[in-house]
């Protein structure tokens, strides 16, 4: 037992809690990486986008990986705004408003969007209109992206930001050493609190974000089948 454990008997318990919370954060980030990458693939394949695919950098820190997702999400936002701008410029005001009218049949919205993309891209897949309507006709994805970008920036800037990603396959002692390498051991309580505060909000926002993306990607998969 270390001197710090003698002075602070709760330390062993807090160490275990740090490992558990770190694993939860990484799991949540990994799912966000996969969801974002899947949406990027759909945008590139059907809407003529050229967003670079992303993956978690196992050798990087939490902050570095937060920055990767933030960059990708920012590019997705830009593409959605670009699509909306093209729709507004190419459609009559009445048709453009139909895309945002919740009472308007989705089939008609898709037909309108498909015509625009056929002109913009020269040739559009049958799925292009469906994806465009899902993206611009509902602000769910953009709202979810905005929330996640804010939370990711907060996590990256926190005490957690400097902690490495590539520690999952290590033994408990090595995991602790990797996590605590960037901070003082006496800060265990502060680390646990930081993890808990960020995780609660991050997990909730991630679920909404992943659900919004699944709506788009599932629709595409069903159409392809």
Structure tokens given for 18: 């740090």
- Mind listing the pLDDT tens digit for each residue in 183-197? 455 566 677 777 788
pTM confidence score:
0.79
Q: Which residues of the chain have pLDDT under 70?
A: 1-12, 14-15, 123-126, 137-140, 159-160, 163-189, 224-225
| Separation between Cα atoms, residue 155 and residue 25, nearest integer Å | 10
pLDDT the model gives residue 133:
82
Percent of the chain as helix, strand, coil, to the nearest 5: 75, 0, 25
The pLDDT of residue 5 is: 45
Residue with tokens 């993956």: 55
Q: How far apart are CA 162 and CA 157, in angstroms?
A: 9
What does the pLDDT read at residue 132? Answer: 83
Contact by Cβ (8 Å): 106, 129: no
Helical ranges in 102-139 per DSSP H:
106-121, 128-137
Cα separation of 206 and 75, whole Å?
18
CB atoms within 10 A of CB 167: 20
């Amino acid at each position: 037992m270390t001197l710090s454990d003698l002075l602070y008997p709760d330390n062993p318990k807090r160490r275990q809690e740090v490992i558990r919370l770190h694993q939860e954060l990484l799991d949540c980030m990994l799912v966000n990486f996969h969801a974002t990458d899947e949406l990027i693939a759909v945008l590139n394949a059907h809407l003529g986008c050229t967003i670079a695919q992303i993956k978690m950098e196992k050798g990087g820190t939490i902050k570095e990986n937060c920055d990767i997702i933030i960059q990708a999400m920012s590019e997705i936002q830009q593409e959605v705004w670009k699509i909306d701008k093209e729709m507004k410029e190419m459609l009559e005001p009445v048709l453009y408003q139909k895309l945002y009218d919740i009472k308007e049949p989705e089939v008609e919205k898709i037909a309108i969007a498909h015509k625009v993309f056929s002109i913009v891209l020269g040739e559009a897949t049958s799925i292009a209109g469906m994806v465009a309507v899902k993206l611009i006709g509902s602000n769910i994805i953009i709202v979810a992206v905005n929330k996640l970008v804010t939370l990711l920036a907060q996590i990256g800037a926190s005490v957690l930001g400097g902690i490495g990603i590539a520690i999952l396959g290590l033994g408990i002692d090595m995991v602790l050493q990797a996590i605590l390498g960037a901070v003082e051991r006496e800060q265990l309580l502060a680390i646990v609190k930081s993890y808990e505060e960020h995780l609660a909000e991050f997990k909730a926002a991630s679920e909404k974000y992943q659900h919004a993306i699944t709506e788009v990607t599932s629709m595409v998969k069903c159409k392809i089948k």
